[in-house]
Amino acid sequence: MAKVTWTETVRLHLEREIRAGIHPPGPHLDEIGLAHWLGCSRTPLREALNQLVAVGLLDRRSHRGVFVASSDSGAVIALAEACAKMEAACAGLAERRMSEPMRAELCRLAVAARQVRDRLARMG
């Protein structure tokens, strides 16, 4: 059974904040400060940042760090929304094929994820 990782939790949280404009395009993201604020170590944070770089929400600049990407054309946001829709479709397909014990475990994980999201929301 798949577990919700810190990397996934942090990636989703940062993605939502970027979409909401909490992290506007341009500023440098301080890894140490973000890790402290999110209550996680730098390893899952770096993995989450790498995933966000891969989908174009962040830019990595040599010897300068990670920055929120500019979205002049809106293509970055459209790509992130398309990825979210594909993830939801895949989750729906998987849910239809799982057994009752697997479905119960999924519900347990959803509750745990909600608790983590609530914790992150209280921190921000």
* DSSP H stretches of helix in 1-124: 6-20, 31-38, 42-54, 75-97, 100-123
**Would you state the pLDDT for residue 44?**
92
pLDDT per residue over 13-45, tens digit each? 998 888 888 888 888 899 999 999 888 999 999
For residue 58, the surrounding DSSP H or E stretch is: strand 58-61
Which tens digit of pLDDT belongs to each residue from 101-115?
988 888 888 888 888
Give the whole-angstrom CA distance, residue 29 versus residue 40.
15
pLDDT of 63-86, one tens digit each?
888 999 876 556 666 777 788 888
* pTM for the model: 0.58
- 26 within 8 A of 68, measured Cβ to Cβ: yes
Q: State which amino acid sits at residue 21.
A: G
Residue 94, pLDDT above cutoff 70: yes
Write the class of the CATH domain 6-123. Answer: mainly alpha
